[in-house]
Each structure stands twice: as C-alpha cells, then as structure tokens.
C-alpha cells in the first residue's frame, strides 16, 4: 500500500511539473527538458557499465546532449541559423578521436554506445523542439505546445489503458520474449483510450480534422509501444531491472520516458506529412 501511495504521488507531481513546464513558458520547457535529457544520458551511461568493456565519458556525453537540445530549441524557433550545430559536430568528432588516447580495451563499444545515446536520448527529445515550433517570423519565438502536450497525454493514457485492461483480461502475450506482462488486450485497451482522447483535442483545436488527430494518437500508441519494448530489450541485454531510481515507485528517467523516445520522432514524421503539409 505504501509503495502504491508513493508511486501515485510521484506520478501526480511528475505530470503537474511536465504540463506546467510545457504550457507556462517556452523557457520553462527548455530548462525542464535540458534536465530530462541530461538525466537520461547519465542513466544510460550507468546502464552500459554493465556491458563488458564499455565505459562512456558520462559528463561529456551529458553536456553534448544538453547542448544539442538547446541548439535545436533556438534553431527550430527561428532564433539562430544552422551554425549553432557546429560545436555539436565538433563534439561528435572529438568523442571518436578521444578513444585514441583512452586506451580502452574495446573502443568500438564506447563509440557505439556514445552515438546510440545521443540519437536515442538527446536526439529524440530534441525533435520535440521541431514539433513545438510553428513556422513564423525569423527572430521571433514561435513555440506552440499543442502537439507536444498531445503526445504526452496519448502516451500516459495508453499506459493507463494498457495496464488496466491488461491486468483485468490480458491473456494473449504481446511480446513475451521481451516483456512477459504485456498483452494484446492491454495494447488495444490503451489504443482505444488514446483514440477516444484524441477527439477531445479535435474539439479543442478544430482547425485540425478529427481523422488527423486519430492518426496522431494511433502513431503515438504504436511507436510508443515499440519504444517501451526497445528499452525492455536494452535492460534485458544488460541484465538490469530498472534504469535508475530517480523517480520513487517508477524507476529511472529512461523507464518513465521509454515510450516517448520512439513516439516523438514518429509523431514528427506524421505531423509533417499529414498535418503541416
């Protein structure tokens, strides 16, 4: 009972902080997701220590990823040009050059994990900036939180629906080799709840038609489920249960954002192809 209360309180605080940061002001959004990006990269560096002959430079990796998020934020909002990414390119090159001097037993592992972490963590979160930026006047902030908030709500409702339906009637395993507790019944329960909630967004933002909202919700659920499974595969490969313990009752930041990691880039593709085209 105590663990359930802790989990519920942590979840409520987490949702309130996230929603507030997304909606109150773009600078709050920037600050919060710089912290989230940094924490996920730090956790990733700790996870791969469980892998033979792998040792990331965690602080450098975190700084590089946070810089990428800041750079994409100012670029996507029309506040600077593409030169903002030059230091990040230098960072990528230096991380490869540095292995010449670290004398690690297997530098390929370090290269692979460093680049994977940048794509998986920093890259995924950075795409949020392009989702939240509407084309506007150069030099003027163009941040709009609607799609960002929709993605997170669809993910949360999908998780809730999948858990409730799966717990009650889940019998057919969705992907038993990777996640034995997930069921097809839970998957469809989460999907239906997310699709239903998309119509509330259609009422709130009627300039986007209902079918596009349904398509976005379905995209989030499908790729969010794959994102969850990918993180489960990562943890199983490394032999760990949770990515961390920064969120009491929920595990680590990677555990909390695993679905988002894949849902965000997939949503961006969908938005650009079917909503903003």
Residue-level pLDDT at 143: 87
9 within a domain of the structure (yes/no): no
132 within a domain of the structure (yes/no): yes
CA-derived radius of gyration, the chain: 19
pLDDT score of 89 more than 80: yes
Q: Tell me the pLDDT band of 6, cut-offs 50, 70 and 90.
A: confident
Q: What is this structure's pTM?
A: 0.92
- Residues 179 and 132 both lie in one domain: no
The predicted-structure confidence for 23-33, as pLDDT tens digits, reads as follows 999 999 999 99
Q: Tell me the pLDDT band of 242, cut-offs 50, 70 and 90.
A: confident
Final residue belonging to a domain, choices 141, 171, 201? 141
CA distances from 228 to 22, 182, 223, 257, 263 (A): 23, 10, 9, 8, 10
- Residues 89 and 195 both lie in one domain: no
Domain that holds residue 69: 25-141
Distance CA(190)–CA(181), nearest Å, equals 14
13 within a domain of the structure (yes/no): no
242 within a domain of the structure (yes/no): yes
pLDDT score of 139 more than 60: no
Among 120-129, 137-146, 198-207, 216-225, which stretch is predicted with the lowest mean pLDDT?
A: 137-146
The predicted-structure confidence for 202-239, as pLDDT tens digits, reads as follows 999 999 999 999 999 999 999 999 999 999 999 888 88
Sign of torsion over alpha carbons 231, 150, 223, 159:
positive
- Residues 133 and 147 both lie in one domain: no
197 within a domain of the structure (yes/no): yes
Distance CA(256)–CA(228), nearest Å, equals 9
Residue 163's CB is within 10 A of a number of other CB atoms, namely 16
119 within a domain of the structure (yes/no): yes
- Residues 129 and 158 both lie in one domain: no
- The pLDDT > 70 percentage for the chain reads 94
CA distances from 173 to 22, 156, 169, 179, 277 (A): 35, 21, 11, 9, 38
- Residues 150 and 272 both lie in one domain: yes
Final residue belonging to a domain, choices 141, 174, 205? 141
pLDDT score of 137 more than 60: no
Six-digit token string for 14: 């987490």
The predicted-structure confidence for 54-88, as pLDDT tens digits, reads as follows 778 889 999 999 999 999 999 999 888 999 999 99
- Residues 248 and 272 both lie in one domain: yes
Q: Average pLDDT for residues 144-167, to the nearest whole number?
A: 94
Question: What sections of 48-145 are H helices per DSSP?
Answer: 58-76, 86-102, 107-117, 124-132
| Number of structural domains in the chain | 2
pLDDT score of 44 more than 70: yes
Asked if 68 and 121 touch (Cβ cutoff 8 Å), the reply is no
Q: Tell me the pLDDT band of 196, cut-offs 50, 70 and 90.
A: very high
Average pLDDT over the chain reads: 90
CA distances from 230 to 155, 204, 254 (A): 15, 33, 11
- Residues 163 and 108 both lie in one domain: no
Final residue belonging to a domain, choices 121, 141, 161? 141
- Residues 153 and 262 both lie in one domain: yes
């Amino acid at each position: 009972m105590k663990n359930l209360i802790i989990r519920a309180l942590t979840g409520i605080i987490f949702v309130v902080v996230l929603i507030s940061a997304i909606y109150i002001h773009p600078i709050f959004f920037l600050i919060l997701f710089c912290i989230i990006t940094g924490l996920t990269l730090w956790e990733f560096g700790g996870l791969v220590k469980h892998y033979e002959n792998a040792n990331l430079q965690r602080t450098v990796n975190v700084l590089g990823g946070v810089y990428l998020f800041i750079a994409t934020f100012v670029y996507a909002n029309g506040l600077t040009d593409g030169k903002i990414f030059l230091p990040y390119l230098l960072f990528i090159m230096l991380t490869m050059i540095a292995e010449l001097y670290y004398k690690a037993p297997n530098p390929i592992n370090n290269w692979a994990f460093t680049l994977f972490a940048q794509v998986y963590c920093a890259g995924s979160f950075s795409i949020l900036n392009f989702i939240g930026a509407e084309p506007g006047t150069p030099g003027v902030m163009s941040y709009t939180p609607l799609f960002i908030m929709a993605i997170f709500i669809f993910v949360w409702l999908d998780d809730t629906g999948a858990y409730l339906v799966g717990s009650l009637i889940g019998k057919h395993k969705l992907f038993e080799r990777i996640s034995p507790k997930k069921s097809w019944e839970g998957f469809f329960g989460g999907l239906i709840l997310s699709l239903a909630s998309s119509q509330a967004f259609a009422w709130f933002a009627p300039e986007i038609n209902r079918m596009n909202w349904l398509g976005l919700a379905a995209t989030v659920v499908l790729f969010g489920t794959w994102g969850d499974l990918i993180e489960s595969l990562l943890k199983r490969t490394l032999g760990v249960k949770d990515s961390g313990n920064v969120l009491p009752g929920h595990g680590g930041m990677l555990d909390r954002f695993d679905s988002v990691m894949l849902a965000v880039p997939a949503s961006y593709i969908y938005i650009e192809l079917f909503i903003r085209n």
